Chain A
Amino acid sequence: MGKILEIKNVVVGNEEIKILRDISFEVEEREIISIVGESGCGKSITLRTIIKLLPQNLNILSGKIFFEGLEITKLKEKEMQNIRGKKIGMIFQEPSSFLNPLFTIGNQIEEGINEKVEKDKKKERVIKILEEMGLSYNVYYQYPHQLSGGMQQRAMIAMALINNPVLLLADEPTTALDVTTAFGIISLLKNLILIHNLSIIFVTHDISLAKYLSDRIFVMYAGIIVEKGPSIEVYNSPLHPYTQKLINCLPEKYNKGEKIKTIEGEVPSFKNLPLGCPFSPRCEIKNKICEKRIPPEIKIGNRIVRCFKYGNFMES
């Protein structure tokens, strides 16, 4: 399997704050990656960095992003436009705000087709992909408000996949949906990677969902990926203290009447991040070194963790 996306030591921010600090990861072909973290940890910004659609006050300060071997950090806006939508698709949490209420679904998907083909061919292609998403032929002629939330999300996915991209970025696409509808979307995404030769980066705050859906999980905390590894291993035997505590917060881990073990304190704001490991103020096993330096990536088998607990740092 080849690498589709490779991110090397990316730092995103501005003079005052750093939102992403030293982010590195790869995405293989036909792989589903989940980025898990609490709100404000920088997981959505990571996605937006990949397609270079950052908010105005943020920039990529250093690091490199390779997409299919091409370094996209240096590309001009115009060249990026050829990659966005064509090679990389994206879906969002609120499909209703990304669909134009004044045009039919068919119209909007057709608009995204990049190649110059006849109108009939376009329509055929749109209907084919709609059916692939489990939507009926009629949806082509319908307006967004006539669809339910789940159907809108399916239409969004169709729109993202119309140009057969190789990478799909999904920003919490199921958070706003009902349990049963969300389950449908998740199953759909799992099937899509086989049909479309697709890789997915899935951003979510729900680690159980990440475990169910993805091959690998990246856990993010305050702009740093603290743990990377195969989903089931990360979920069942987390290495980083934050991941351990996060999984311990889930109510399904407890019986009725038990007290949930929560994480004391709050997520630090980007304006005053701790000097060392961002989790150190809430960590029970912290050492002196944790407060001074950000831990490097430590490889343990096929997993990577950023914690001084591993390796020979604790003694020094």
Chain B
Amino acid sequence: METLWKVENLRKVYEIKSEFKREKIVALKDINLEIYKGEIFGLVGESGSGKTTFGKVIIKLIEPDEGRIIYKDTDITNLPERILRKYRRNFQIIFQDPYKSLNPRLPCGVTVMEGIIGSKKEKFEKAVEILNMVGIKKERFYNFPHQFSGGERQRIAIARALSTEPEFIVCDEPTSNLDVSIQGQILNLFIELKEKFNLTYLFITHNLKIIRFLADRVAIMYKGEIVEIGKTEKIFESPKHSYTEKLLKSEI
């Protein structure tokens, strides 16, 4: 299997400064892992375990403090933003809250157009095509985010991510703010798009049911560390780490 991402000894420390004290919070503690091309890699952990930070660090939306991030054969850890910009189109991110991840002052079609390269007409036609693919009709091209429902906004966020024709998408809890019936639609869409565009996902969630349904491999994160990593079925059948056990037991 072709390795798409290789992460070595990744470390990120947040410093909280206030008038009275300085606190250091270790968000990522020496993370090592590989993500293969074409797989859905699940990342599970509770809030504050550093899973969202990892999703942002791997595509360099946040700078890591130590360690290396290797995309295909390129070490992108210390690339200047100028050069990194060319790579950025290859990996995209979809956030949890579709109410926050769309610019409230841009019509949705325009948001999608931003990622497309070409003449104005090409941009428009491509954006219409992508929006149509995720189930948003052309008539609503110039509607603003607040005119869409939560599920529709998440579709627009997916369309924006697809607009650069990426090969890797970080999905940061993309369904946890959605209703069950909408969640099903979005999960179907993810699977459909993966097959169509040969995508690789890093799927971050705390919902074990989704992981079991979706992920090929899974990593369990606890307090900034990856405590267990492996094939999904294997981890769900015979968890090794005590935290994983506790997690699986809590599943209702």
Contact = CB atoms under 8 A, between A and B. Distances in A.
A259 B207 CA distance: 18
Contacts of A252: 209, 212-213
Interface in A219-251: 245-246, 249-251
A259 B191 contact: yes
A314 interface: no
Nearest to A174: B252
Contact of A259 (B188, B212, B252): B188
A184 to B, nearest CB: 8
A207 B252 CA distance: 10
A69 interface: no
A194 interface: no
Interface residues of A, number: 34
B149 A179 contact: no
B181 A246 contact: yes
A209 B251 CA distance: 9
A103 interface: no
A251 B252 contact: no
Interface string B61-102: 000000000000000000000000000000000000000000
Interface of B is mostly: helix
Contacts, number: 80
Contact of A257 (B149, B191, B246, B252): B191
Contacts of B247: 179-180
Interface of A: 38-39, 149, 178-183, 186, 205-209, 212-213, 245-246, 249-252, 254-257, 259-263, 266-267
B209 A179 contact: no
Interface string B222-252: 0000000000100000000000001101111
Contacts of A260: 184-185, 187-188
Contact of A262 (B46, B184, B249, B250): B184
